[in-house]
Chain A
Amino acid sequence: MDEPERPPAEGAEPAEHPILVRLRAGFGDAVVSTHQFCGDATAIVAREKLLDICRWLRDDPDLRFEMLMDVTAVDYLGRTPRFEVVYHFYSLSKNHRFRLKVPLAENDPKLPSVVSLWSGANWLERETYDLYGIVFDGHPDLRRIYLYEEFEGHPLRKDYPKERRQPLIGPGSPGAPSDGGSGAGS
């Protein structure tokens, strides 16, 4: 069934959001594209400038994004670049939200970690690593968080079949970590 009314999603920019205007002015070369959909301002930026942009978002007196609400990824299988890492910010003092996305190529899914700016990014980045296989450079403790170390693959990738079953590894079974092992000391 064809939908006649495609929304003005990507590309069309009716009265650009002030944060996007300032982002373009400050980091023009790193901004791949911007859009607004349903009132959510979104910018897609290159990973090379991610840390600078994040620091600016957090520290600029007009933006003050003190809270990193969420980090996740989306797998656009069949598209290049394949992955997008998505950050959701919220500012307590200014009461506004912002979404930042970083495209990543399939053969090099790496980007800098933002744990140094928001300590809460620690688990969120571990989760993204666990479920999508995105590597966060500079993360203090990048290992799986939900699944066990021996789990093969990253289940939220679109090429991971939902029906696939992997053995549950319990203490004592061959190949199992010694109790507490991999997690404890590192």
Chain B
Amino acid sequence: MSTKAMSPAASDDQDLLELPSQPLEMKMGPSHPATHGTVRLLLKLDGETVRHAEVEVGYLHRGFEKECESGLYYQAFPYTDRLNYVSPMINNVGYALACEKLFGVEVPDRCKYLRVIGSEISRMSDHYTCLGACALELGAFSAFLYGVEAREMVWDVMDEMCGARVTANYVRIGGLSGDVGPAFPAIVRDKLEQAGKLQQDFEDLLLSNPIFRERMEGTGKATSDELIALGVTGPLLRAAGVPYDVRRAQPYLVYDRIDFDIPVGEEGDNMDRFLVRVAELKQSRSIIEQCLEQLPGGPVDIDDPKIRLPGKGKVFTRMEELIAQFKLVTEGPLPPVGEVYLAVEGGNGELGFYLVSDGSGKPYKCRARSPSFANTQSLPTMVGGAMLADIIPTFDMINMIGGECDR
């Protein structure tokens, strides 16, 4: 280290100014005030320039797959809530759709629309959290409060749907845990109206702020080729100009009946990622409004006592349904032997579930392909050669969700 340079022999030397230098190794995290998410970055710095970065994940590893394998298919829903805990309903929907693909069933239209509404509410919650936390970590505390307040509004909608604000556990194989009430559309419209106003204030506060713009513009760039090779999806990939969105590329539920745009960026820097998310918030709101207009009546559950619980009214009065409920709860629904992969568009990209069935009531294998895992891997590519301070907005825009990345 520098002690060598300070030795008496060196002081005689003429070029005293040329001190020997070596990269400074620095560990950032696992609990750093300017990163949301428990992760450790190992950095090699030359002054303030990042020469080498490495990400260490795993602090939130809870054995999602092992837990799912030891329970029945329907018992995995609460665990899926806790993958991306900022957008739980998308995980619910993704897992349910994978199971339904395996079981070979299709849910009624009303259920599909409600699932889309739930997914988009979750996406808004995810984006508000991501953008708000980004503002906070770049020093804009008041903007953060606007973002969080808007998130409260969309959580009120979630509350109205399923009674929970964060861990929804709303979706079931072949249906939903319950229908929404008659006042639901009015409540959603009211809450989204309020959230929209807050979002406008939030945008105005940040986008006209020169400090914020300087921290975001031109930082954390990565080319679309690099991102594709790394398997990055979602807003990060779209900000680099690739319009890949599972909702459009391989539509599920009723996304093919709804009119929406896929915002893309040009530069692929943090500012584009921010703007893509802001634009997606507006698209989500428009999707929800279209769903409310098109929302049909009818049941939300399939009528198949081998897969979906019969209603309590029947269970309490009829023998067959009582037996069906007993068997369903104790043995679970039994799928055919086989394997399926199904992807949905999560808050941060492609969220896929890969299920392997051996014909029993428990999944033989239940794998979640999480977007955060692939996205977090791209951090070194984005910050290599950049300034230390650029890591903060870049990491914010990657929006690593520990629960989903580490599973």
Contact = CB atoms under 8 A, between A and B. Distances in A.
B230 A7 contact: no
B339 A37 contact: yes
Contact of B331 (A1, A95, A124): A1
A15 interface: no
A9 B354 contact: no
Given A5-B336, A146-B57, A67 B228 contact: yes
B341 A97 contact: yes
Interface string A71-83: 0101000000000
Interface stretch (A16-24, A49-57, A114-122): A114-122
Interface residues of A, number: 42
B27 interface: yes
A37 B340 contact: yes
Interface in B123-176: none
A66 B228 contact: yes
Nearest to B358: A76
B17 interface: no
User: Chain B interface mostly helix, strand, loop or mixed?
Assistant: mixed
A14 to B, nearest CB: 14
A123 B19 CA distance: 38
B229 A40 contact: no
Interface string A144-186: 0111000000011000001000000000000000011001100
B71 to A, nearest CB: 10
Contact of A180 (B42, B250, B367, B373): B42
A21 B88 CA distance: 40
Nearest to B65: A156
Interface in B245-296: 249-250
A162 B66 contact: yes
Given A67-B228, A120-B377, A95 B249 contact: yes
A108 B58 CA distance: 27
B94 interface: no
B54 A146 contact: no
A69 B352 contact: yes
Interface string B351-370: 01010100100001101010
A81 to B, nearest CB: 15
B229 A118 contact: yes
Interface string A97-126: 101000000000000000000111011100
A120 B58 contact: no
A1 B361 CA distance: 11
Given A5-B336, A69-B350, A120-B231, A88 B70 contact: no
A95 B104 CA distance: 23
Nearest to A158: B69
Given A145-B57, A183-B42, A183-B54, A119 B230 contact: yes
Contact of A184 (B42, B336, B338, B374): B42
A42 interface: yes
Interface in B223-254: 226, 228-233, 242, 244, 249-250
B238 to A, nearest CB: 12
A183 B228 contact: no
A32 interface: no
B66 A155 contact: yes
Nearest to A123: B377
5 contacts: A3-B334, A37-B339, A69-B231, A146-B57, A156-B66
Interface of B: 25, 27, 42, 54, 56-58, 61, 63, 65-67, 70, 101-102, 104, 226, 228-233, 242, 244, 249-250, 327, 331, 334, 336-341, 343, 350, 352, 354, 356, 359, 364-365, 367, 369, 373-374, 377, 406
Which 5 A-B pairs give the minimum distances between C-beta atoms?
A: A120-B231, A146-B58, A7-B336, A146-B61, A120-B230
